[in-house]
Structure 1
Amino acid sequence: MEKKHRTYRYSAISIKHAVAVRFRSFSKKMAQSHSECLESIMDFFEWHGLDPSKKFGRSIIQEVLKNRERTNTSIKRNEATIAIIRDIEINQTKPNNAMLLALFGEDAKTKKTIRKEKKLIERKAEPAGEIEVTVPKIRYERLTEKLEKVKQDYSYVLDKVELVKGSFGKAFFKLELTPSELEKFKRTLKNNA
């Protein structure tokens, strides 16, 4: 395939030989052609407002100060954004989370925030072997009785499940319980919750 070359109008500029040699070596490092290199150099000076005839000291310092101001304003904006996100977390997310926990039966008021729990753990600093959790014997016995009852109910229900393979379609499970038995299980689940 032949590459299509664009036709440009060229113009000659008189430059000292030493400067031309130096520019050619610089141009090879920076761009594909001498024109592209010269354009990028001119763009750099124009975009940054630098004047090559003056000393770079003042103009570079001015650019650095402008960049600092831009950085400071972006830092302030980021801090404001972080403050807004924290406010949203405190005023909107945590109350919603507490309502969801209340719906699922967990007590949101007794639950402490993560930060407070970390501070309490750091303050106590007791070895893990010394901490004991005790449950009253009566409560333990009642819980074991309830567990046994639940196990019996589940085994009864599982005994009533039967696999049905139809001639068409997928196989499915059939539960052979009377409506009264089903209502009884629903009531016991509600009462235990």
Structure 2
Amino acid sequence: MDKGREKEAFVTIKIKTTIANKYRIFCKHNGVSQSMCLLQMIQFFEFNGLAPTDHLGDSFAKLEGKINKRTNAIIAIIKDIEKSQTLPTVAMLQSLFDQQIKQESNDFEEDFEFVERKFANDQNQKEFDMETTVPRIRYERLEDKMNSVKSDFEYVLDKVKPVKSNFGKDYLKLELTIEELVKFRRILKNT
């Protein structure tokens, strides 16, 4: 039954047999009742301001041309944004990070100019230990990476199933989809 129209009565319309058969096949193909299919057709024509006798070939070609022009304009705008806005920002951020890493590496080299250090008391030892510790942000990032690698590895291990063979040795079967395998390879390549 059609939703919201369960209590409406049926009315007959005189249609030629060949056209009625073609219409029934069309309705089955679209998966709707004959009443709803006719209603949708009428709404389509009313909404678009068309008549069944209108020729749509030229208007669709014009519409496609307009869409192509709009698409090309959008692509040009996005490329301009990438060149003028995003790349300079990325370059500035990258230079800041590179400068920070260079400063840290210079500081690191300055701290270890001498291979052996003799400490007169524990205070100097504690100061030296404080200088050589890993920054907290870097430690947390490494910890996050380690946790993600662990979870991925656990997932892969869960997908390993032992298979008993009637002929020959038993073996292990890895039940991963191709998409999952590609994802893990990409992750390993990027790290």
The structure, 1 or 2, with the larger RCO (C-alpha pairs under 8 Å, 6+ apart) is 2
Q: Under a length normalisation based on structure 1, what TM-score does the superposition of the two structures give?
A: 0.48
User: Which one has a bigger Cα radius of gyration?
Assistant: 1
TM-score by length of 2: 0.48
